[in-house]
Amino acid sequence: MAAGVFEEDGFAAERLFSQGYSYTYDDVIFLPHYIDFPTDSVRLATQLSRNISLSIPCVSSPMDTVTDAHMAAAMASLGAIGIVHSNLPAADQAALVRAAKARRVPILSSPVFLSPFDRIASADDFDSKPYVLVTESGSAKSKLLGFVSRSDWEKLPEKEVKVFDYMVNSSDYVPWNSDLGRIESYLQEKGRDLAVMVKDDEVVDFVTKDDVERIKDYPKLGVGTVGEDGKWMVGASIGTREQDKERLQHLVGDGINVVVIDSSQGNSIYQIDLIKHIKLNYPGLDVIGGNVVTISQAQNLIQAGVDGLRVGMGSGSICTTQEVCAVGRGQATAVYKVASIASQYGVPVIADGGISNSGHIVKALTLGASTVMMGSFLAGSTEAPGTYEYQNGCRVKKYRGMGSLEAMTKGSDARYLGDKAKLKIAQGVVGKVADKGSVLKFIPYTMQAVKQGFQDLGASSLQSAHDLLRSKTLRLEVRTGAGQVEGGIHGLVSYEKKSF
Ligand SMILES: NC(=O)C1=CN([C@@H]2O[C@H](COP(=O)(O)OP(=O)(O)OC[C@H]3O[C@@H](n4cnc5c(N)ncnc54)[C@H](O)[C@@H]3O)[C@@H](O)[C@H]2O)C=CC1
Ligand SMILES: O=c1[nH]c(=O)c2[nH+]cn([C@@H]3O[C@H](COP(=O)(O)O)[C@@H](O)[C@H]3O)c2[nH]1
Ligand SMILES: [K+]
């Protein structure tokens, strides 16, 4: 296929993105190319940063309604990665990192522990869990003695008795790093409904037969993201205040694999100094800088030594930065521009914000990003922090911007403690997103859709998509308003949209 054949049809990215417009994902559309491979042969393996490889290009955002320990473990199990948020005291953030790394299953049950001499007075004591675990002292760091199932407790005629009188005695456990396959065999062999995981002298968690059955039915992805220590890889975010150096020390102590410096405008003296500090003091730790949207911002952070760049300003679903500050960039343009410079230095780019469907992921990756970072796309999942509630008959979870007044005044973050006297201006909102089920189910389907997009483009991998982009074989155009309407569902009285 000679490139010349396409010269007259569509634009190369270089030309399209140098005309003075700030384009976002929905503005642009790729022209299909040539298919000579099946969908399943498309490889989505990628780099998060210089030294961290992922088997799928997905990252969960460091936001307090998106990434805690549960999300981080689930993302790692999918071959992606989670970045634990920093809107809480340093020790608590480090505890989330520790929790995510303390298992090799994609789920967390966060058990309730009791001692044999405690009593279970009400169903609330189960904290919505099917079991409580019984240990010698009633804490995790104590000898496992057994468990109480909620159904057994409900059948008790007299609830005032001590746990000791009716618990199931069992000190049987599986090692902390057992995967689901191993746990399933254990449950089958022992004819049990519950496997407790123990590490050294600490009871880590439990997995139920119901959990295993549920997850077994989900589609399988590639290998999980595991570090040299045999644990899930987990990232964490920090700010650029002096106290964040101490926070980082905690996080490194608990084994984070990568740090993300969280700022809406990364090209600052504060961030550049911090990058240098981290590279000097933790030379083995990958640092992701940002956020940036221009070539010159990116160049400054690359010069300071970043191993990855986070791109996006004002493109997030809960962001009001462009409205409040008049600064930012359309996300398609931002990703293309930053990636075009970062690729020359071998620095991978994370396209952060504005992802609401698989097509946006295809666009971000094809325009030069190596991964996408998602907030709203993941916030309605089972694994996101918070509980579901009902709004107008719809099952929803809370999702909020980290620059919203509510998140800023949560009062825990050192970033704002010193600023109490200052007037606070919100750059984000608080909202709700619909229940999407488990990331363990919808991410594999989303990745399959991304593979179909890559196939249409004639790209069998991320590298091949980037090669098509840079060789100008990839052609694209801007869609008019009517073009965007035509590309969506239109002209129907009613419809049901089911993606998988
Ligand atoms: N990607 C995006 O478009 C946006 C993201 N956000 C999110 O909201 C949260 C807050 O972001 P920002 O407000 O940008 O946080 P930030 O911490 O970067 O900046 C807050 C303010 O503190 C200042 N500052 C930072 N370090 C300092 C230091 N060491 N000494 C003195 N002043 C210092 C900054 O210049 C800025 O005025 C983050 O989670 C961010 O990701 C907020 C707005 C837009
Ligand atoms: O202007 C902003 N005000 C905020 O309060 C805020 N909180 C998060 N973010 C950024 O949005 C990204 C997530 O965006 P999505 O929901 O579109 O995935 C995130 O990954 C952040 O980059 C914010 N931007
Ligand atoms: K926005």
Q: What is the mean pLDDT of residues 1-18?
A: 78
Ligand nearest to the CA of 328: 1
From the CA of 433, how far away is ligand 2's center (Å)? 14
Ordered by start, the domain boundaries in the chain are 3-104+226-487, 113-216
Q: What is the DSSP letter of 480?
A: P
How does pLDDT run across 454-465, given as a tens digit for each residue?
999 999 999 999
Split at pLDDT 50, 70, 90, the class of 7 is low
From the CA of 427, how far away is ligand 3's center (Å)? 10
195, amino acid identity: A
Cα separation, 59 vs 71, in Å, equals 10
pLDDT value of residue 419: 61
Pocket test for ligand 1, best of 63, 264, 311 (most atoms within 8 A of CB): 264
Residue 320 CA: which ligand 2 atom is closest? 1
Residue 312 CB less than 6 A away from ligand 2: yes
**pTM: predicted TM-score of the whole model, two decimal places:** 0.96
Mean pLDDT of the chain: 94
Cα separation, 311 vs 295, in Å, equals 11
From the CA of 215, how far away is ligand 1's center (Å)? 38
Measure Cα distances from 345 to 179, 369, 385 in Å: 38, 14, 36
pLDDT value of residue 412: 46
161, amino acid identity: V
Which amino acid residue places its CA nearest to atom 18 of ligand 1? Answer: 263
pLDDT value of residue 4: 53
How does pLDDT run across 152-209, given as a tens digit for each residue?
999 999 888 999 999 999 999 999 999 999 999 999 999 999 999 999 989 999 999 9
Q: What is the mean pLDDT of residues 30-47?
A: 97
Binding site residue list for NAD(+): 262-264, 312-314
- Beta-carbon contacts of 184 under 8 Å, excluding residues fewer than 6 positions away, are 212, 216
Q: Which stretch of 57-61, 183-187, 305-309, 422-426 has the lowest confidence by average pLDDT?
A: 422-426
Binding site residue list for IMP: 317, 352-354, 375-376, 399-403, 427
- Beta-carbon contacts of 233 under 8 Å, excluding residues fewer than 6 positions away, are 52, 76, 81, 225, 226, 227, 257, 258
Cα separation, 38 vs 44, in Å, equals 14
State yes or no: pLDDT of 11 exceeds 70.
yes
- Domain 113-216 sits in CATH at 3.10.580.10
Split at pLDDT 50, 70, 90, the class of 414 is very low
Q: What is the DSSP letter of 475?
A: -
How does pLDDT run across 331-350, given as a tens digit for each residue?
999 999 999 999 999 999 99
Residue 268 CA: which ligand 1 atom is closest? 35
Residue 403 CB less than 6 A away from ligand 2: yes
Beta strands, E only, 312-429: 349-352, 371-374, 389-391, 394-400
From the CA of 368, how far away is ligand 2's center (Å)? 20
Measure Cα distances from 8 to 5, 27, 476 in Å: 7, 20, 12
From the CA of 319, how far away is ligand 2's center (Å)? 5
Distance separating the N- and C-terminal Cα atoms of the chain: 34
Residue 78 CB less than 6 A away from ligand 2: no
State yes or no: pLDDT of 18 exceeds 90.
yes
What letters, b where the CB count within 10 A reaches 16 and e where it falls short, cover 142-176?
bebbbbbbbeebeeeeeeeeebbeebeeeeebbeb
Cα separation, 390 vs 434, in Å, equals 10
Q: What is the mean pLDDT of residues 294-315?
A: 98
Measure Cα distances from 204 to 103, 196, 477 in Å: 7, 8, 52
Can you read off the two tokens belonging to residue 50? 């210089």
pLDDT value of residue 5: 53
- Residue whose C-alpha is closest to residue 261's, from 330, 310, 213: 310
What letters, b where the CB count within 10 A reaches 16 and e where it falls short, cover 241-265?
beebeebbebbbebbbbbbbbbbbb
pLDDT more than 70, % of the chain: 96
How does pLDDT run across 209-261, given as a tens digit for each residue?
999 999 988 998 778 999 999 999 999 999 999 999 999 999 999 999 999 99
Show which residues are catalytic. Answer: 319, 415
Can you read off the two tokens belonging to residue 356? 């609401």
Domain at 3-104+226-487, CATH class = alpha beta
State yes or no: pLDDT of 500 exceeds 90.
no
Preceding amide of 291 cis, omega within 30 = yes
How does pLDDT run across 366-406, given as a tens digit for each residue?
999 999 999 999 999 999 999 999 999 999 999 999 999 99
Split at pLDDT 50, 70, 90, the class of 147 is very high
pLDDT value of residue 420: 62
Cα separation, 42 vs 60, in Å, equals 22
Residue 334 CB less than 6 A away from ligand 1: no
Residue 68 CB less than 6 A away from ligand 1: no
Measure Cα distances from 422 to 89, 276, 354, 417 in Å: 21, 29, 30, 10
- Beta-carbon contacts of 405 under 8 Å, excluding residues fewer than 6 positions away, are 424, 426
Q: State which H helix or E strand residue 477 sits in.
A: strand 476-478
* pLDDT, greater one: 221 or 280: 280
Residue 208 pairs with which residues in a beta bridge? 194
**Is 346 buried (19+), middle (13-18) or exposed (0-12) by CB count in 10 A?**
exposed
Residue 395 pairs with which residues in a beta bridge? 390
